[in-house]
Structure 1
Amino acid sequence: MQRPGNGGRAAIRFRAAGFVVLLAHLVFVGWLTLRPLDVMWVTPPNLEPFAGIRADLALGPVEAAHRIGGGLLLLAPLGVLLPWVAGRLKVSPWASLVRTAAAGALVSLGIELLQTAVPGRVVDVDAVLLNAVGVALAHLLVVPAGRARLRRRGAAVARGEDGGPLLRDEVSQGVTPTIPRVGIAP
């Protein structure tokens, strides 16, 4: 039996695909950020916010764009993948943004903490800030428009305006009717 508004098997497959893509992205990020580096010396940890960004800007615009852009883009797909896995269409945009940015910041913080045990890697608070901002920007650029489009498509399917046949999985079944019992025997 299907609950009202849950979306059926198609929504489950959609969310499962999102989970697989999310898992693949996290494995890639883990491989990229948690590999040991073979270096002669290691810089000290950066625990002062924006110090690393200022140092990157001092290197010139091309190198700064490369380093800052890399920090913004590393976890940016989480801004789309986390709401995709959650599968909610009717949610406050601000609550979704805060939830997604906080989750991205926690993933980034976890990576930075794991890097303390990896040879050649050091903690950088600016990486956490850039990763969280990248997640929030990706969320703002993609998720509200995507949710609006899916809501319009769902409403069109429910009304039968998409031109195709109504599939049982695409339309909410509503509340199950109850049959009143008459003359129940002891």
Structure 2
Amino acid sequence: MQRHQAGGNAAIPLRLRVLGGVLLAAHLLIVGWLTLRPLDVPWALAPNLTPLAGIRADLAYGPLEAAWRISSATALLAPLGVLLPLVSGRLAPSPLAAWSSLARTTAAGTLASLVIELLQTAVPGQVVDVDSVLLNTAGVALAHLVVVPAMRARLRRRAEKEGAGSRASGSQGSTPMIPRVRLDPWTEVLSAVPREY
């Protein structure tokens, strides 16, 4: 049984970590299917290797179409910003560790986006777009900043409440109770014998 501590090394409960791992695997499978399946298109656009050129082209379609295209690219990998810390995170990291968690999660999201873009070079109908990497990374970082601190605070409060409840009921967890041991009668006799060194 996993114990929750109020300290900085308390971990997210195992059942939530397992659930996060299952959701992470399912999300990556869906993303792979959406981004790496061949498309039947009459022509393919040229790859976009100029940062922000694709976003400017999306804005030329009008505000609604641009909002749809930009938000869909931002939301594609955004769940990674929550699922990665859920799988391997702590409940009460120090401020430095919290920023480190954001940096690691954002780097993992960037790497996942780069892998997808590189794999798309071999898929018919899919086009490489550097702006997709930028928007995917922004989505991961934004999801992490919005959800993870609140999630950790809620889980911390819940763990502290469970800990306070067990302390109030007199339960000390799994601490063994050792009965007093009486000394053997021979111990007194042997202790009276002088020792030679």
Task: Calculate the TM-score normalised by the size of structure 1.
Answer: 0.82
Q: State the structure with more CA Rg.
A: 2
Cα distance in 2 between the residues matched to 1:123 and 1:165? 61
Shift in Å at residue 59 of structure 1? 0.9
Cα pair distance change 1:156/1:130, threshold 3 Å? same
Shift in Å at residue 66 of structure 1? 0.7
Match of 2:118 among 113, 124, 134: 113
Cα pair distance change 1:159/1:114, threshold 3 Å? same
Structure with higher RCO (Cα < 8 A, 6+ apart): 1
Shift in Å at residue 158 of structure 1? 1.1
Residues 1:133 and 2:135 are matched in the alignment: no
Cα distance in 2 between the residues matched to 1:164 and 1:60? 62
Cα distance in 2 between the residues matched to 1:23 and 1:143? 19
Which stretches of structure 1, 4 residues or more, deviate above 3 A after TM superposition? Answer: 1-8, 161-168
The equivalent residue for 1:103 is 108
The equivalent residue for 2:13 is 11
1:93 aligned counterpart, secondary structure? helix
Cα distance in 1 between the residues matched to 2:34 and 2:167? 43
The equivalent residue for 1:158 is 163
Task: Calculate the TM-score normalised by the size of structure 2.
Answer: 0.78
Cα distance in 2 between the residues matched to 1:164 and 1:74? 47
Check whether the contact 2:10–2:92 (CA below 8 A) recurs between aligned residues: no
**Identical positions, percent:** 62
Cα pair distance change 1:167/1:14, threshold 3 Å? farther
1:76 aligned counterpart, secondary structure? coil
Check whether the contact 1:76–1:135 (CA below 8 A) recurs between aligned residues: yes
Runs (5+) with no aligned partner, structure 1:
178-182
Cα pair distance change 1:154/1:116, threshold 3 Å? same
Cα distance in 2 between the residues matched to 1:131 and 1:167? 47
Runs (5+) with no aligned partner, structure 2:
179-186, 188-197
User: 2:125 corresponds to which letter in structure 1?
Assistant: G
Shift in Å at residue 7 of structure 1? 6.7
